Structure 1
Amino acid sequence: MATVNALDLEEKVRALYRLVAQEPHGSYHFEMGRDLAGRLGYPADLLDRVPAGAVESFAGVGYFLDLAALGEGEYVIDLGSGSGTDSFCAAQQVAASGRVVGVDFTPAQLDKARRLAEAGGFEQVEFREGRIESLPAEDAGFDCAISNGVINLSADKERVFAEAARVLRPGGRLALADIVTEQPLTEAIVCDAGLWASCIGGAAHETTYRQAIENAGLRVKELRGNAYEFLSGQARRASARYGVKSISLLAVKPDR
């Protein structure tokens, strides 16, 4: 099957998520903001301690921080950190002795997240420009990798999971939420960069997604479905026909 044009996809993803950062109250295929985060399971007291400017641009697809079970002093890397909601949540849990590195390739998202981190005094949080297929991070430097609604945007998911495994310490965890499908998508959908950017076209079959994680040397320990719905008619039709859905999962790197 043919696949999406990677350069076209990158352009559309950057353009869309620039708007997510700069115009969080605009109209998109997906819901955003604090109400969404609350419905997905984010505790209100945790969101209260996250900069409001980050939460207004929150475009995640599930809650997974309970699976991550972050502890004080741990090092965390956020794959596709956006405006920083999950990075700031993680920072609350690892505390001042821990460290959170957010990675994103959209300048507007990075600029917003960095401003919010500085204004909020999040000294243990750093946002780095980079791609999740080639993380700007050292080998075995993190206790946990997190991601929310981002890996489906990558045309090379095998590489993303290999990178996550590379930067995790033995015994480290991968905790994420993402979009997958119950039925394979058609070639027309897979080749539509606009649908990829909106978290539809790049959704892998659930079995294929899980196998890619296992191929990277990680072991899936828990997987659950999330109550998540797209907003536009086009996205809803794709969801109904192909079983496009949100999942949260926890995978572990073997402790050798």
Structure 2
Amino acid sequence: MVATVDTVELETKVKEMYRHVAQEPGGNYHFELGEPLALRVGYDADRLKNVPTGAVESFAGVGFFFDLAALTRGETVVDLGSGSGMDAFYAADYVGSSGRVVGIDFTLEQLEKARKLAAGAGAAQVEFLEGRIEAVPLPDASVDCVISNGVINLAPDKNVVFAEAARVLRQGGRLAIADIITEKPLTEAIVCNADLWASCIGGAAEQEIYLQAIESAGFTIDTLRVNTYAFLSDQARNASAKYGVKSVSVLATKSAF
């Protein structure tokens, strides 16, 4: 029998943790937050100046993928698990006023913060919708690029997430993400630990299984890159060292059928 996490407990833990990330970015977490992290993983300092400070301070991503995404003016982008809006605002700088960026999140405090930041910045092309990344509230074939940063590992059923990404993408659309995966299978104790799931470790899939899930959804993987990223707490660091937990950036294209 495959070990599974209590999904109700997991959702509660995830919402609790990321509520704190939105409201208390200076708090203590298993992971780093903010501008120093963003710069370390590859974000451009000049482009970050165009992102609201409140979004940058609550950034909890695990890597950089915008060089892979190659966003252009006028494109439509959806950010799965958009949090306080850092990547959505960063994407808006690429697509411009003629483009559209939609953030999807289910933590109300993150949504509230992101919406206030968007209104304050006058970012009319950016909107944030309440929803789940397993059921994206957008029409079929309506998006040019799907992005996500350190969020898909939180989903118990990653196959459904990638299938939804494929559904909303136009033919030839791109999936550009950063996420946490593992080199070795995690133990039952880790997989069943909702706290470690919420910290982006317990839900990490093995690399081969993760990539297979992307391909099974109808994508062709173009790029896989290992990122420079490290957790902060001893518990998280120990799990990372023992099981080969690592951050990767992936670019995949929706295949023609």
Q: TM-score band, normalised by the shorter chain?
A: over 0.9
How many Å apart are 1:54 and its aligned residue? 0.2
Stretches of structure 1 lacking an aligned partner (at least 5 in a row) = none
Aligned position for 1:182: 183
Q: How does 1:1-12 map to 2 (within 5 A)?
A: 1-12=2-13
Partner secondary structure for residue 199 of structure 1: coil
Amino acid paired to 1:245: K
Residues 1:120 and 2:146 aligned together: no
Partner secondary structure for residue 184 of structure 2: coil
Residues 1:93 and 2:64 aligned together: no
Q: How does 1:79-228 map to 2 (within 5 A)?
A: 79-228=80-229
Q: TM-score, normalised by structure 1?
A: 0.99
The CA RMSD measured in Å over matched residues stands at 0.6
- Counting aligned pairs with the same residue, the percent is 66
Aligned position for 2:245: 244
Amino acid paired to 2:29: Y
Aligned position for 1:60: 61
Counterpart CA distance in 2 for 1:203 and 1:219 is: 21
Counterpart CA distance in 1 for 2:130 and 2:138 is: 11
How many Å apart are 1:255 and its aligned residue? 4.0
Amino acid paired to 1:157: K
Aligned position for 1:229: 230
Counterpart CA distance in 2 for 1:201 and 1:219 is: 27
Q: Deviations over 1:79-106 (max 9, x none)?
A: 0000000000000100000000000000
Counterpart CA distance in 1 for 2:86 and 2:66 is: 12
Counterpart CA distance in 2 for 1:209 and 1:13 is: 21
Aligned position for 1:73: 74
Counterpart CA distance in 2 for 1:83 and 1:26 is: 16
Partner secondary structure for residue 112 of structure 1: helix
Counterpart CA distance in 2 for 1:136 and 1:118 is: 21
Stretches of structure 2 lacking an aligned partner (at least 5 in a row) = none
How many Å apart are 1:254 and its aligned residue? 1.9
Counterpart CA distance in 1 for 2:150 and 2:59 is: 10
Counterpart CA distance in 2 for 1:190 and 1:215 is: 23
Partner secondary structure for residue 8 of structure 1: helix
Amino acid paired to 2:210: Y
Partner secondary structure for residue 11 of structure 1: helix
Counterpart CA distance in 1 for 2:237 and 2:95 is: 37
Counterpart CA distance in 2 for 1:202 and 1:53 is: 28
Counterpart CA distance in 1 for 2:134 and 2:157 is: 7
Which contiguous aligned blocks of 4+ residues in structure 1 show a shift greater than 2 angstroms? Answer: none
How many Å apart are 1:115 and its aligned residue? 0.2
How many Å apart are 1:194 and its aligned residue? 0.5
How many Å apart are 1:161 and its aligned residue? 0.1
Q: Deviations over 1:122-150 (max 9, x none)?
A: 00001000000000111000000000000
Partner secondary structure for residue 172 of structure 2: strand
How many Å apart are 1:2 and its aligned residue? 1.7
Counterpart CA distance in 2 for 1:253 and 1:71 is: 18
Counterpart CA distance in 2 for 1:150 and 1:53 is: 19
Q: TM-score, normalised by structure 2?
A: 0.99
Q: Deviations over 1:60-79 (max 9, x none)?
A: 00000000000000000000
Aligned position for 1:39: 40
Q: Deviations over 1:129-182 (max 9, x none)?
A: 000000011100000000000000000100000000000000000000000000
